[in-house]
Each structure stands twice: as C-alpha cells, then as structure tokens.
A and B are shown apart, each in its own frame.
Chain A
Amino acid sequence: MVTPIGKALGAAVAAPVIWLASAVNLPLKAWQRATGTNGMAAFFLAPNMAIFAVFVLTPFVINFFYSATSGTAFFLADRTYVGAAQYERLFDCASYVDPSTCREDLFWKAVQNTGLFVVVQVVLMTLVSIITALILNREIAARSFWRAVFFFPVLLSPVVVGLIWRWILQRQGLLNYIFYSVGLEPHDWLIERSSAFTAAVTVSVWAHMGFYTLILLAGLQAIPRDLYEAAEMDGTRPARVFWRITLPLLMPSLLVVVILTLIRAVQIFDEVYVLTGGGPGTSTLYITQYIYEVGFASLLRNPGLAAAASILMGAVLVVLTLLQLQLGRRGEKKGARE
C-alpha cells in the first residue's frame, strides 16, 4: 500500500525531526545530570503546563475580574471596577418567569430557551441512542458497518451540519418535497417559531446520537453473557430480562450518557447558530450565543456582562462535571471489585 515515493517522502519529513530529537539529547543530558528526576519531570511537563497556564488557567482566573468591571475595553487595566453590578443587572427582573420584565431580557430568554432545549434534547437523545444501542447489540449481520452508519454525523463539523440541514429545511428543500409528494402542506421550517425549535433539537440529536450510542453499546457488551443464559434457562420473558438485567446493569453507562448530554446541551451553540442564527426572533437563542453576541458581535458589546453570564453557566457546568467524575469514580471502584 505504501508506495516508494510515499516512503521517500515520509523519510524526508522524518529526517529533520530525528536529527532534532538527537540534537536536543546532549543539552538535556546535562540538565538531567544537574537536576535529576524532578528536573526531568519538570522539563517534560513544561510545554504542556505553560500553554495550560497561559490559555486555560489565566483566563479562568481573570474571568472573575472581568465580571466585576464595566466598559467596552478588552484590557483589564482599562476597565472600571463595578463590583457585583453586572450580576445585579443580569438578575434585575420583575418576574423570572417572564423574560420581558427583565433588564437583560435576552439573557433570560436565552436561559429559558436553553433550559427547554436541554430537557427535550436529553430525553430525546437518551431514548434514540438507547434504542439504537439495543438494536446494534442484537445478533445482526455486519454489526460494525451499522455501528459506523450511526456514527457518521458525529465527525461532521457543526458548520457542515448546520448548512446541510438549512438546505434540506428551506422552503424549496428536500423535506418540503417529501411532504409535498405525500400530499402534506409544506412549511417554512426555520422561519416558524415552533418548528425552528424542533429543528434545532432534532438536528443536534442527529449529529451526536452516534457518540452516545457507542458508549451505551460498550456498556451493553460489558454485561456478562451468563446472566442472559441463566435467564433463558429459567424461561424468563424478554421484557422482564430487559427491566431486570439489561437496564440495571446498563445504569452506569446510562448516567454517564445523560450527564455528558446535559453538559454539551447547556453549551449548545455552533450547529444551531449556523442553522437558525438564533432566530426566528429569539426563539433559538441559547446561552453561548448570548455570551458570544454580548461579548463580541453586537454594537453595544459589554465584555463584563458576557463574563458574568459565562461564570453563571460555568457554575452549572462545574456541578454537572463533578457529578460525572463522581459517577466515573464509582464505576471505577465497581470495576476494580469485579
């Protein structure tokens, strides 16, 4: 399969890399003699941790300072300290149920939309992926092929996903053609409010269900065969086998799936942004888009307000992630015991 040209090309690329790797050996040997194991550990960690410190840790810390300042300047030194004013502004509401009574009506609209999106999407996603995983776990011919089929959209970029579906859901698109050919009324899917929400949820489930199916399938395959054999010998009905064996033993994977879906759904942005742009009106405006637009895109940009909103979202995510890690640890302990 590898052609001679390919081999030569590979060697040409590899040669300087190999040369470089042996060139750094001498100074590193000196460093090793001088500092010992700890020094070498520091050396190996340095590049990753330096990038980590600059681009993850620093932003994380100064985000809190941002949320306590106002103005349109991006450099912290040029901004004025306002204390908790940005948070007060976000929470300045006559009634939290009705976003139009809030000072930051868009924020609350986005919170409401995100809440609804999260609930509907998590239910739909879990349901679709568990059905698919159960079906893929059956004795079917060419299982790895079918597994790949459902995985395909996971690899597509959000922009590609958004554009593919925008093209299908437009007025003269494929879906309306299918509706038209079976005698149904065509719709402006992305222009009508209720259908835009449905489209956003459905498209995101379409794009990601393959990933969760894989996790659930791995969970199903980890269930010991002998349990099923014993149930079969006892003549247990299939429905009972599902409720009493499959579901309880699948629970750890299922919880992981639910929480991962939650974490991702809270941050939903790109594919919906490309699909609907947050519209019609504000009906598919979600938190991340709100942060992006307040922080960068709108004319009246307010980085402090965006930072405050992002910290609130971050707090929700921290809780969810801790929950996930807790579950993961429990799963690990269980695995160690078995």
Chain B
Amino acid sequence: MSAVVSFLTRRRGGKGWHWTDVVTWVWLVGGLIVMFGPALWLIASSFKTPAQLAEFPPTILPYVNQQATVEGYDKPLTLYTVKMPDGTSRILAEVRRVGIVSQMVDPNAPDEIVKINIADRTPVREIGLATENYVVPLEQNNFLLYLRNSVFVTFMATIITLLTNSMAAFALSKYRFPGRDVVMLLIVGTLMVPLSVVLVPLYSVVSAVGLYDSLWGIILPTVATPTGVFLLRQYMLTIPDELLDAARMDNASEWQIYWRIVLPLAAPALAVLAIFSVVWRWNDFLWPLVVLSRKELYTLQVGLNTYAGELNVQWHYILAMTVVTMIPVVLVFVFLQRFITSGIAGSGLK
C-alpha cells in the first residue's frame, strides 16, 4: 500500500509538493467522483426495491427485507426487530397488519401470536439485489424486443457503413477520375447538414421510399457518414500505390485489389470506424424517435424515453433498463477506449 502511495505521489527530481500538485490531485480525484459517481449511483439504485427508492435519506447499497419461512404459514414472512414492552428486543415475523397493530410470531415458537404497535418494529434488512427490476421489464414490457431492435440496427448499420465508406474511400484515394473533387466537396458539404436541419424533408423522403416506421428507415439514412469516408481515405492514402501496381502486374482485378489488399491493410482504420459506428448507432435518439411509431419497433433509447415520459414514472424499472442500455458502451469503454481516444486525437471526429 505504501508502495502504491509513494508511486502515486512521486515527483520528478524528488522535489516537495507545490500548490499546483495539490490542485492537480484535487481535480483528478474530484473528476473521478463526478465522472463515474453518477453512473455508479444509477447502478446501485437500479437494484433497489420501489420502497427503498422512495426512502430519504437514501442508502448507498441496495437492501431487501429479510424473510423467513415459519411453520404453519405458506408464504415467507418478513422479519422485524421488535422492541418488547419489557425493554428487550426480539426478532419476530409479521403475520398480518391490522391498522397500527401488527400480529407477529416468533419463528422458533410459531404457535403464539404477539400483538405489537407498528411504531415498535423495524424491518431486518440485508444487502440484496432486487433483480426483478430487470426481469419484469425485459419479460413483460417489450424491453427484450427493444434490445433486439437496437442490436439489429447497430449491427446492420455498422456493417453497411464499413462496406460503403471503405469502397468510397478506396475510389477517392486510389483513383484519379473526372469529378473527384466535386465528390469530395459534396461529402465535405454533408458536414454542414446535420440531422436536425433536414428533419422534416428527410422524414418525407423516408416515407416516400416506403421506409417509414421500419428499422431500415433508421439504418439507411445514417450509413453514408462523411467522417467515416474521411477517416478511411486519410488512412488509405498512406498505403503505397506500388503495392497496388504490383498486384495489377499479377493480373489482379480492381475488386480483388480492394478486397484482398487495401481492406486488410486498412484494418486499423476500419476498426476505429467500427467502434465509432457502434457507439453512434446504439446511442441514436432523435431520428428513431421521428421515424418509429409502432411500439414493437422501438429501439432501447426510444423505448426508454417513452417509458420515462409516462405520467406515473416507474423508476425502479427505468433505472434498471438504463443500466441495460449503458452496458454496450461501458464494454466499449473498458476494452476499446484507447482506440477511440487515439482516433479523436488524430482526426478530431466524434
């Protein structure tokens, strides 16, 4: 432990602490709490029962009331710590509650019923996970369907993005042909037309080609990303033309050159684009919100928003489904984060 501390607090040249070092560590540790805290709080809350979510002040960890099966009763009974009239406290199981009087039994002597004022009892709690928060919405409220839709959209959009963008990037980096600059300019121009600007006409185009209220209607408009074409083109420009010419000498067709030479060599850039595309498409919200109207086609994001917008907000389900929605990007973060950060630092795309 002291080795860890001395490693973390080591200073170059062994000089003492400067006030900027203090600021640095306060900022970093504060950042750690502010950046991860909300997500951790969400995860902890998602395992709490509705009764526990309503508590104020809240507990950090999820607890459940301990229960016990008592001889003579079919259902498991909730255990309480009870303050007895003589000042001692006992653990009793509640049989039923009538007004402010609770009828309780001793689990070890189930024959005798004791009547207790409810003010004198507190539930016995243990750390436990309310997993039904996850099971119920997935099984009964379409969320499994939403999950499937999201996976389908993300997967298909990413595959198509990789294929079409890499083909276009190949043509734009390895061929000289009339109109190449016009094509490049058009693609640059796309950067100026974000979705929110063409929302209305795009909706009518998608309806006109019969894709309204279908998953393909949210996949196709997103796949011709200018950033993807740029990223891949920049990378392909670094592949030497001699390599392509050598293959042409060996009678390789242009398609084979693209498929067997350029694509494998561009794998690092393709990987970065794939990661980006997965995150983009998984997180898409506004466009699916506009295009989808049938509930069974909703993606997780839209389903979650609709569910959270209901009059009677069922937070215990929403929190759990928010965690489910978060899982893929957390996996990306844990395993692939360095590819993304180097991609952004290199090209400034997002």
Contacts and interface: CB of A to CB of B under 8 A. Distances in A.
B201 A58 contact: yes
A153 B279 contact: no
B350 A44 contact: no
Interface of A: 21, 24-25, 28-29, 32, 37-38, 40-42, 44-45, 47-49, 51-52, 54-60, 62-63, 66, 74-76, 131-132, 135, 138-142, 144, 146-160, 163-168, 172, 174, 176-177, 180-181, 206, 210-211, 214-215, 217-218, 238, 256, 260, 267, 269-270, 274, 277, 287-288, 291-292, 295-296, 303, 306-307, 310-311, 313-314, 317-318, 321-322, 325
Given A44-B170, A144-B338, 10 more contacts: A25-B256, A37-B254, A48-B229, A49-B186, A56-B193, A142-B8, A152-B36, A206-B34, A218-B345, A325-B191
Nearest to A314: B197
A306 B58 contact: no
A163 B308 contact: yes
B253 A32 contact: yes
Contact of B301 (A54, A76, A159, A322): A159
A181 B191 CA distance: 48
B168 interface: yes
A218 to B, nearest CB: 4
A45 B305 CA distance: 37
A199 to B, nearest CB: 13
A62 B304 CA distance: 32
A258 to B, nearest CB: 13
28 contacts: A25-B255, A37-B254, A45-B172, A51-B221, A56-B193, A74-B207, A75-B204, A135-B23, A135-B27, A138-B20, A151-B337, A152-B36, A155-B279, A155-B330, A156-B329, A158-B301, A159-B325, A164-B41, A167-B41, A206-B34, A211-B350, A217-B345, A274-B308, A296-B199, A313-B196, A314-B193, A318-B192, A321-B192
Q: Give the most central of A132, A155, A176: most B CB within 10 Å.
A: A155
A63 B205 contact: no
B341 interface: yes
B271 interface: no
A290 to B, nearest CB: 10
A288 B286 CA distance: 10
Interface in B238-259: 253-256, 258-259
Main secondary structure of the interface of A (DSSP, over half): helix
A44 B167 contact: yes
Contacts of A62: 201, 204-205
Interface residues of B, number: 102
A166 B192 contact: no
Contact of B202 (A55, A141, A277, A288): A55
Contact of A52 (B55, B172, B224): B224
Contacts of B28: 135, 140, 146, 149
Given A51-B220, A54-B205, A28 B253 contact: yes
Interface stretch (B92-100, B130-138, B175-183): B175-183
B73 interface: no
Nearest to A60: B193
Nearest to B24: A135
A172 B200 contact: no
A14 B77 CA distance: 56
A158 B301 CA distance: 9
A60 B167 contact: no
A87 to B, nearest CB: 15
A214 B203 CA distance: 35
Interface in B189-215: 190-194, 196-209
Given A48-B168, A214-B341, A177 B24 contact: no
A25 to B, nearest CB: 5
B179 to A, nearest CB: 9
A156 B200 CA distance: 27
B84 interface: no
A157 B315 contact: no
B208 A168 contact: no
A138 B187 CA distance: 39
A58 B301 contact: no
Given A40-B175, A159-B301, A159-B304, A215 B348 contact: yes
A318 B200 CA distance: 18
